[in-house]
Structure 1
Amino acid sequence: MDIQASKIEVVKMILELEDNSVLEKILSLLKSEEKLTFKQKKGLNAAIEEFENGQGISHDMVMEETKQRYAKYFDK
């Protein structure tokens, strides 16, 4: 995926956001990107690449696993 296609994909994802806290985290990340270390940038780029290759884990899957593992912290 080229840079323009990646940007369009990111914009689409941002436009579909319903959770304002996620948007605030994205803004914070973008504003602080120049403060990231090389290792942090490398890790983020690796995560983005995994996501683009369909290797990521959806938020729903993570939440389901978290609820199972830490059930006592969630309302029933």
Structure 2
Amino acid sequence: GSIITEALGATYPTVIVYIMDTPRSSNPITFMSNMLYAVSILYKYRLPFIIVLNKTDIIHHRFALEWMNDFELFQSAIEQ
């Protein structure tokens, strides 16, 4: 994986897209696990990075944006 991404990143404008399952990520533990995995990919490859929240027709992505912007709100979701 890293050889291919390094070769593509050096040759072409490259962006990594991480697709996150929104319904499963409504659980705060799963959400944090996904975010930590995404950050590890970001730092491993050092390329521009986009996180895509899919299945937003099933559950709205607003909770994820709120958790990313307000740690205390995320913390209270964990405690529930």
TM-score when normalising by structure 1: 0.28
Structure that is richer in strand per residue: 2
Instruction: Identify the structure with bigger relative contact order (alpha carbons < 8 Å, sequence gap 6+).
Output: 2
TM-score when normalising by structure 2: 0.27
